[in-house]
Structure 1
Amino acid sequence: MALPEITQENVHVFIPFKVAKVTGMIIETEHNSLEDALMEVYNSKVYSDLENEETKLWHEGATYIYESLKEEKHNKS
């Protein structure tokens, strides 16, 4: 049985799980509130990349995405 092809139309299926994992990591390591952690994720370029199937970021694990978010945050300051 072949796995379904991941396209821009269905990549959204992976995003909530990834956001939940990364948000949990932010809360645990940075002691942010749930609201602040979610805002950090949703307002990032990393999240935009996660929504874009072509970047293949959806394929990466939560740790990789979290580290990318930390790098983005560091580069902004």
Structure 2
Amino acid sequence: MNQEQFAAIMPYISADLVEMIAKKKSISENDAITKLYNSELYAILEQEDTKVWQYSTDMLYSLLEQEEKTGKIEFPDV
């Protein structure tokens, strides 16, 4: 995937994840955006070559939860 294609899909991935964070944590979308953008997961997600953007929204949320609880992210073997 080239950088232009990646840049085009990232807003959709982020929006889905923000919506899930807001719903599951009962927080505002703005707070969910802040939570996501300040996470290590988002820093990794922004890098196309990590391929983390291919994970489902549920998986990304699970990884974010793991980061919040343990302070680190352990990616599944896929």
TM-score for both structures, normalised by structure 2: 0.81
> What's 1:51 paired with?
46
Which consecutive unaligned segments of at least 5 residues does structure 2 have? 72-78
Residues matched between the structures, number: 70
Q: How does 1:36-75 map to 2 (within 5 A)?
A: 36-75=31-70
- Deviation track 1:18-68 (CA, whole Å, cap 9, x = no partner) reads 111111111111101111100011111111111111110111111111111
Q: SS in structure 2 opposite 1:14?
A: helix
For 1:9-28, list aligned pairs within 5 A. 9-10=3-4, 11-28=6-23
Structure 1 vs Structure 2 CA RMSD: 1.1
TM-score by length of 1: 0.82
Q: Which has the higher contact order (CA 8 A, sep 6+)?
A: 1
Cα distance in 2, alignment partners of residues 51 and 14 from structure 1:
11
Q: Percent identity?
A: 29
Q: Distance in 1 between matches of 2:63 and 2:7?
A: 19
**Structure with max Cα Rg:** 1
